[in-house]
Every structure is written in structure tokens, then in C-alpha cells.
Homo-oligomer: A and B are copies of this chain.
Amino acid sequence: MEFTIDQIAQLLDGNVEGDGSTKINRLDKIQEGTAGSIGFLANLTYEKHLYQTQCSAILVSENFQPQKETTATLIRVKDPYIGFTKLLETYQKITKPELIGTENPSFKHESSTIGANFFRGAFSYIGRDCSIGDNVKIYPQVYIGDQVTIGDNCIFHPGVKLYSGTIVGNNCEIQAGSVIGSDGFGFAPQADGTYKNIPQLGNVILEDNVSIGANTTVDCATLGATRIGKGVKIDNLVQIAHNVILGENTVIASQAGISGSTTLGKNCVLAGKSGIVGHIQLADRTTVGANTGIMKTVKEPGKTFLGYIGMDIKSYLKSYSIFKKLPLLENKLRELEKKL
């Protein structure tokens, strides 16, 4: 692709400051670009790069006031980050070939149906009685079990596994290697110290606009459904146990884990490596810090937790700051004891 700066400004409804006829053929970070690149400046901690950038054009905010000279042509837009995201999307549409058709060998049981404009990669598998919508892209080595229902515009990257009975809404995307619908971890202890497997008969429901990262696992429910709400975004290597329910637009970062039968509200944020015990509820907009464990139901919405056993974040940081100087405290205490 190659566009002039003027053409890009028109696409983004922006104003050009400098030579608008320069050709652009690449998107780059402001600090890494070269001639022909367009970058952006949203966070002003990166402003110093503007005065050294080799990019030919930089998106800046409408009201931005440069402190020094820059060789780059500026395009002033309402929100440079959103503008740049729009360019990324446009670039992706133009450069990424659309996948269509069936690669062979691949496997689809005759009882299953798939809509228009599909892609089925080599060594992908579709079991019995599946119903799959339009514009669904099934990469190589994907497994779709029996009685799976999938909406429109979904993408399953290589090696994704959907167990039988999984239900997927519209516009969902799952990165490579993730497993949806594996058996929940349910074992009944027996008198002799052994454990007996408890059949896991439920399924997993992904509502619309769900994104799931790579090598993540979502277990099916024992009965009923493990439900991932509309617009939920889940990162890599996350564990979602059986019968978990995630509210709309909740975001879960890498290596976090949620134990069985726990329910999260809407717009919660779980940072990396955080863990939530089973059978509790988190209110809407709960934020859980990195590596933080939540052991009890949170009823009040909008709270933020941090700590090995999660505490209010301010309290935790205060306690931790004193933890750091415990040797000092101990010494003071000793001195006081001596004095008395």
C-alpha cells in the first residue's frame, strides 16, 4: 500500500501541517520509523521522540503544541491513538489476504452445516450436527466437536479445540491452542483415599464479541453452562474453571485463574497471575491486581484489590511499605524494651 499524507489525513478527518504530498507505506512506532513511515504521539512522555523521529508523518492531537522543531509532517486529529488504531485496521484489511474455501485434507461430518464465505484449513475437524454461521475462519488443526453452535464472523486460530456442545456467539476470536469445554476438575473423595471422576455434563457458552488468547483453558460446567459474557477479553494461559460466569466486558490478563462456580460482574479487570477462589461473587467493576488472591465475595462495586490475600489496594501498599522496614521496627522495639 502507498498513500499520500493528504489521503491519510482525509481518511482520519485530520488537518495536515507540512508537506501533504509525501508518500507513506508503513506504520511504525515514533521512535523506530524511517522515511515512508507514519507514527503517532498520544502519551506526552514520548514527546521527546517527536523531535528526533525519522517518520515522514506523525499523528498528533488537535491542540498539541510542539516545543521544538520536527522534520515530520504533522496530522492533527481528535484522538491520535484512536486515529492510529483506525490506520492499523485499514492496513490490516488491505494487506491481509482473506481466507476462503477448503484446504484438503480436512474433516467435516455430513450432518454439520457452515454458512457463506467460510475457510476450513487443512487437518481441521468438524464433528456431527454442528451449525456454523457466515464468515467463519477455521484455521488448520482446529477441532470442533459434536453439536457445536457458532455464530457469524468468528475466527479460530490453529489448533483451537472446542469440545462437543460448545456454543459460540458472533464476532468471537480464539488464538491458537486454546481449549474450550474440557472436563471440569471434579472428583469425589472415596473412603479408601482414592477419587472418583464426577461426570461433567454441561457446556461452555461464549457470548458475542468474546476474544480469547493462546493456550487458555475454559472448562465445561458440571451441569448447565460455564458462561463468558458479551465482550469479555481473555489473555493467554488463563484458567476458567467449571460453572464460572463472567459478566460483560470483563478483562482477564495472562496466567490469571478463576476457580469453580465463581461469578464475576461486568467490567471487572483481573491483572496477570491473579487468582479467584471458587464459589464466590465479585461485584461489577472489581479490579484485582497482579498475582493477587481473592478469597471472599466482594459486594461493593468498583473496588481495587492487591496482595497475596487481596486487601484494599491502599491498605496493602501501606502495610507492604512497613513490611519492607520491619527489621527497623524490630530494632526500635528492642531499644524500647531495653530502656524500660
Seen from chain A, the residues whose Cβ lies within 8 Å of a Cβ on chain B are 27-29, 32, 81-82, 85, 88-89, 91-92, 103, 105, 107, 121-123, 125, 139-141, 143, 145, 157-159, 161, 163, 173, 175-177, 179, 182-183, 185, 187-188, 193-199, 201, 209, 211, 213-217, 219, 222-224, 231, 233, 235-237, 239, 241, 248-249, 251, 253-255, 257, 259, 266-267, 272-273, 275, 277, 290-291, 293, 307-309, 311, 315, 318-320, 322-327, 329-330, 332-333, 336-337, 339-340
Contact = CB atoms under 8 A, between A and B. Distances in A.
Given A159-B179, A322-B327, 4 more contacts: A215-B237, A255-B275, A333-B333, A333-B336
Given A239-B255, A255-B257, A332 B329 contact: no
A188 B255 contact: no
29 contacts: A81-B188, A82-B188, A85-B188, A85-B196, A88-B198, A88-B222, A89-B199, A92-B199, A105-B105, A123-B123, A123-B141, A159-B161, A173-B183, A177-B217, A179-B214, A179-B236, A185-B213, A187-B233, A193-B266, A215-B215, A215-B217, A217-B237, A237-B257, A239-B255, A272-B275, A273-B275, A275-B290, A291-B291, A340-B340
A147 B196 CA distance: 30
A40 B175 CA distance: 38
B125 A123 contact: yes
B185 A159 contact: no
User: Assembly of this chain: how many copies?
Assistant: 3
